[in-house]
Amino acid sequence: MENTFFLRLEIWIFLTSGFYIIYYLSEKIYIIFKNIQKIIYPDISHSEKKLEKLRKKKKEEVLWKNNLKDSKENLKRKKKVKKNIINTEESQKISDILKRVKINKLKWYFDTAKAILIEWLSIDKNNKELNIELASIYEEEKDYKKAEYIYNDLLEFYNSNFEILKKLWYNLAVQRKYNESIDVFLKAHEKNVNDIEVIEFLSDLTYESKFYEKALKYINLFLKEFPRNSEKLKMKGFCYETLWDTVNAIITYKKALEIQPYNSQVIEKIDFLEQH
């Protein structure tokens, strides 16, 4: 009986071992088959997933760059808007100050107007509008020297500003500083060669200063625009006369006489030059 039990046990162990060996070999064969299949037939879905993952990553990078660019542009826009707001506020503030100054000027309260301007110029000393307004008050008070100082200081900051040059010239001319005023207007002429007002001033200044050769240059420029200006023609004739160019002096005086046929002074000039 006991022998029969051990026999059955041995048979059970043998069968169990056989089944395990068959399972183990089957599993190994399946794994080898799958590996061979992957080599011969790659997993397309896996490749697609990998490709999709790369696409997604690239898309995220593009979005990140776009967001960064948008952020920078938004920051620039915000700074620009902020700057415009500040500039608008400053312009409004300056406008209010100038209104107060002009009201006081109309009432002849020049000291009050100057005090307002000087107070604000202590904060913004190079403000062009406020400085020009202060200089204009000094001009009203006939204190041209102080106005001259202001315009010279402004020119150092605003680098030969045309408007300031013209105002400085006026103050120099009033003070009879003709040579300095000519230099100022030569700078103004360089800045804008077509400004007829500057050309006229230069022709008058050089003529009054007896620089007749220079005067001819600017008188001729003026006459290009206004060829029938009798005053400038008479000045031109006198320049030629003084420079001993009798022929051109007579021609020029005759042109002036066509515009003013009864001008006795011009008639006398022509008669005198033709006789000599």
> How does pLDDT run across 182-214, given as a tens digit for each residue?
777 777 777 778 888 888 888 988 898 889 999
**DSSP reduced 3-state for 109:** coil
Within 13 Å, how many C-alpha atoms sit on residue 27's CB side?
6
Query: Residue 215 sits in which domain range?
Result: 193-276
Q: What is the biggest distance separating any 2 CA atoms in the chain, rounded to whole angstroms?
A: 177
CB 268 within 8 A of CB 256: no
Q: Tokens in use for 89? A: 């506020």
Q: What is the pLDDT of residues 120-158, one digit of tens each?
A: 787 777 888 888 888 888 888 889 899 888 888 888 888
214: in domain: yes
Q: What is the pLDDT of residues 175-185, one digit of tens each?
A: 888 788 777 77
User: Which burial class, exposed, middle or buried, applies to 229 when counting CB atoms under 10 A from its CB (0-12, 13-18, 19+)?
Assistant: middle
pTM, two decimals, is: 0.51
153: in domain: no
Q: How many percent of the chain have pLDDT more than 90?
A: 17
Sequence-distant (6+) residues with CB within 8 A of 181 are 169, 172, 173, 205
159: in domain: no
Rounded to an integer, what distance in angstroms lies between the CA atom of residue 68 and that of residue 83?
Answer: 22
Number of domains in the chain: 1
For residue 199, the domain's CATH number is: 1.25.40.10
Q: Tokens in use for 87? A: 């500039």
Query: What are the distances in angstroms from CA 91 to CA 17, 85, 88, 96?
Result: 101, 10, 5, 9
Q: Tokens in use for 206? A: 């050089």
Q: How far is CA 5 from the centre of its chain?
A: 111
270: in domain: yes
222: in domain: yes
